[in-house]
Structure 1
Amino acid sequence: MTKTFSASLLVAGLVWALTPVTPASAQQSAAPLPSNQKGCLPAPTSTESGTPWAQQRLAPDRVWSLTKGAGITVGVVDTGVDAGTPQLAGGRVKRGVDVTTPERKPADDDCFGHGTFVAGIIGAGSRRGTGFSGVAPEATILPIRCAVASQDGSPPSLTATEMANGIRAAVDGGAKVVNISASTSVPDDGLEEAVRYAASSDVVVVASAANSAQQGDPVTYPAAYPSVIAVGAIDESGKKADFSQTGKFLSLVAPGVGVTSVGPRGAGHWLGSGTSYAAPFVAGVAALVRSYHPELSAEQVKHRLEVTADRPAAKVPDPGFGWGTVNVTAAVTTVLPEESGTGLPVVTAELAPLPPSAQPGGAGPLLAVGAAVSVPILVFLAFLGSRLVRSGRTRGWKPARVVEFPPDPRK
């Protein structure tokens, strides 16, 4: 009986150890956003069942025991946000304001889908069946619609005036962080004044650097205004995206190539690329910081995100990377003596190990190695146990003979 049990254990253990475990990220993936979208974005038809690379890279869940962004409203100055999208439902999205209409209608719906995608990166909640969630899942989204698709169905474009109106509406609506994934290459007094208005109201403004690096790489606004956190894009390998704008104004970089988020009118996910989608990662981190460090000013939040970033292999600020890649754990947990006026060097908290869900390539190899090591031990213990049982029966369960050694004469 014991031998049968041991053999069964060995076979079962070897089967378990040698069975390949498919990484979650390879099970099912989101579909790319339409390249030539006309009119409203359809509902996504596929779901990202694993953990997307951007969420693995930034690992915001490391700090969720400290903060998930509760109490912070993030203004999304964009095309609106669909409040009915499952991972944004349940009160995560306010009604907002449509500044493109004189009557200032709500903006909690979204035809084009750009704003919903951005909002998902910032604050989408967790949901069974997917490893995707937003950076700050307990933050509240304030949608500000300042762009709509044209009558011929072509993508919306924002004027400097519309962006300025959107920033002001977000500030007046109670946002403590504003994300604007749009830009102009022409400086504008009204837009600059709106950014100053946000700064004077202690509001963090995060803006995309734009995608014209290969078309002359112009300076873009509002990203280039001094109080704004300007964000460029990196790919999965950490390289700067080919399209990502460069310049002295760049503050940080974040994932912006093949990133996952939600869309309007249904469950599921899309894949998108652009600095438009890098900026909301930073906006989400800003929300976490503002929630965990409510005493910090908007200027201090910007400084904190910059000095705690993962440095590029270059002198910072670097034209292509700014101060580096935003680091969620360091941004939330680092002790910055300058915030208390001590003037001592920066002390960065030690990073926690990656959780199994965030390990590149999934947990399959780790499980296989663990099983390969543990199975022989289990087999040996089973064999040893069977010998002890048989020996006990032979003795009638009497105590085993005790062997006594004579005392050492040298003692």
Structure 2
Amino acid sequence: MRRAPLPRPARALAAALLAMASLAAAAAPATAADGDVQLPVVSSVLPSGEPCAKASTDKAEKQPWTWQPLGLSRAWRLTEGAGVTVAVVDTGVGADIPALSGRVEAVGGAGEDCVGHGSFAAGLIAAAPGEGVGVAGLAPKARILAVRGTGTRGETTVGQLADGIRTAADQGADVIYVGRATSTGKDELTAAVAHAARRDALVIAPVVPDALPKDSTTGEPVQRAPWYWPASADGVLSVGDYGPGGLRPEQAPPTDGADLSAPGDAVVSVGPRGSGHYYGSGSSLAAAHVAGAAALVRARHPELTADEVARRLMISGYPDDPPRLDPYAALTTVLTDKGGAAPKQAAAQLPEKAPSGPRNRALAIAGAGGGLVLLVAGAAVVIPRGRARGWRPAP
């Protein structure tokens, strides 16, 4: 989606405020991803010969750093996403994850997740908070529709992603999270997004891949492509990521073309099975947070279209370039027009010009009355003096 950049003074103010927020986050208690607990790292693709991801035996008991910028406690006072279905087009979602118990519906074989990435993203979207555990998704009462958008080991094609988006839309998903970004497939993925839009489903995708592929000759990451899909398709809400200390150095330029940014660096979520936790980084994980926020908005404002939900998320974001996701503001911001534009000041209404006829008559009456008063006042002075002189002329 296209958006207007912030004015230069606003960007400067936002940068200063964000720097202060980063310092506050750095001073916060250590999280599981900071080394307090050694958690396994989630992968997007499993290398050849590596076994499927196992259930983690460790849990992050402290609240992750993401709670502060996302404001989950305030948002949950308004809604927890009940009644909304979020499709996860990724590696699948484990059907027996306790934090998602009873809320996962799988299409085909998507109820099994060998890689763990789709389960991790689903946890960021909708995991219910556990007793004594600080990890939870943004919409803990939303339903998850698991749709396979990759092979069993995480490898993907344009056709798999496009089919996944179409399937999710046809299954009635309100929000469609896509966990991949590819440099090819513009036409096919744009058509799939248009298919979802006709069914009023909001598609959310990472603006760039979590990791750039490596050159087969040099072993170095290839140069970033100017566009990635489906994020660049019209109607998709594209997302970049940031961490507790701001942007990662290797990200630059990190969020070019993104509509929103959200926490995606060193975030904690569930694994493909069991109640333990993993941690990971990348724009795909930031996109999962935005998908959870979209579920909250659709639950609280069911009258809004998919496009209006996307605009609300962007307009209500914390001022930066791109704006930073603010779920509570997205739930409470009052917009005055159907297009999602910022609230407008009412035009000043000048009183209509009074008719000249009554005004002229009023002036004439007032003038006559004033003249009569003057005549009476003058008579009150002249008449007594005239009587006293016997009406003779004054000397």
Q: TM-score normalized by structure 2?
A: 0.71
Residue 54 of structure 1: which of 66, 77, 86 is its match?
Answer: 66
- Higher mean Cα deviation, 136-145 or 26-35? 26-35
Aligned-residue RMSD, C-alpha: 2.5
1:249 to partner: Cα distance: 3.0
Q: Contact 1:136 / 1:285 at 8 angstroms: preserved in 2?
A: yes
Q: Which amino acid aligns with 1:205?
A: V
Q: TM-score normalized by structure 1?
A: 0.69
Match of 2:87 in 1: 75
Match of 1:383 in 2: none
The 5 A counterparts of 1:296-375 are: 296-312=304-320, 318=321, 322=322, 324-339=323-338, 344-345=343-344
Q: 1:257 to 1:246 in 2, by over 3 A?
A: closer
Give the secondary structure class of the aligned counterpart of 1:302. Answer: helix
Give the secondary structure class of the aligned counterpart of 1:108. Answer: coil
Give the secondary structure class of the aligned counterpart of 2:272. Answer: coil
CA distance in 1, matches of 2:104, 2:294: 18
Q: 1:299 to 1:25 in 2, by over 3 A?
A: same
The 5 A counterparts of 1:28-107 are: 29=37, 31-33=39-41, 38-89=50-101, 91-94=102-105, 96-97=106-107, 105-107=108-110
Residue 122 of structure 1: which of 125, 148, 159 is its match?
Answer: 125
Structure 1: runs of 5 or more not aligned: 1-21, 98-104, 150-154, 313-317, 347-411
Match of 1:217 in 2: 224
Q: Which amino acid aligns with 2:277?
A: H
Match of 1:380 in 2: none
Deviations 1:256-286 (A, max 9, x none): 1110000022111011011111110000000
Instruction: Report whether the alignment pairs 1:257 with 2:271.
Output: no
CA distance in 2, matches of 1:117, 1:146: 15
CA distance in 1, matches of 2:266, 2:340: 41
Match of 1:243 in 2: 251
1:239 to partner: Cα distance: 2.6
CA distance in 1, matches of 2:265, 2:255: 19
Give the secondary structure class of the aligned counterpart of 1:242. Answer: helix
1:246 to partner: Cα distance: 4.6
Max radius of gyration: which structure?
Answer: 2
Structure 2: runs of 5 or more not aligned: 1-27, 213-220, 346-395
Instruction: Report whether the alignment pairs 1:289 with 2:287.
Output: no
In the comparison of the two structures, how many residue pairs are matched?
A: 302
CA distance in 1, matches of 2:195, 2:149: 18
1:295 to partner: Cα distance: 0.6
Q: 1:135 to 1:221 in 2, by over 3 A?
A: same
Identity of aligned residues (%): 41
1:57 to partner: Cα distance: 2.1
Instruction: Report whether the alignment pairs 1:148 with 2:151.
Output: yes
Give the secondary structure class of the aligned counterpart of 1:117. Answer: helix
Give the secondary structure class of the aligned counterpart of 1:75. Answer: strand
Q: Which amino acid aligns with 2:123?
A: G
1:146 to partner: Cα distance: 2.4
Match of 2:138 in 1: 135
The 5 A counterparts of 1:387-402 are: none
Residue 186 of structure 2: which of 185, 188, 192 is its match?
Answer: 188
Give the secondary structure class of the aligned counterpart of 1:77. Answer: strand
Give the secondary structure class of the aligned counterpart of 1:291. Answer: helix
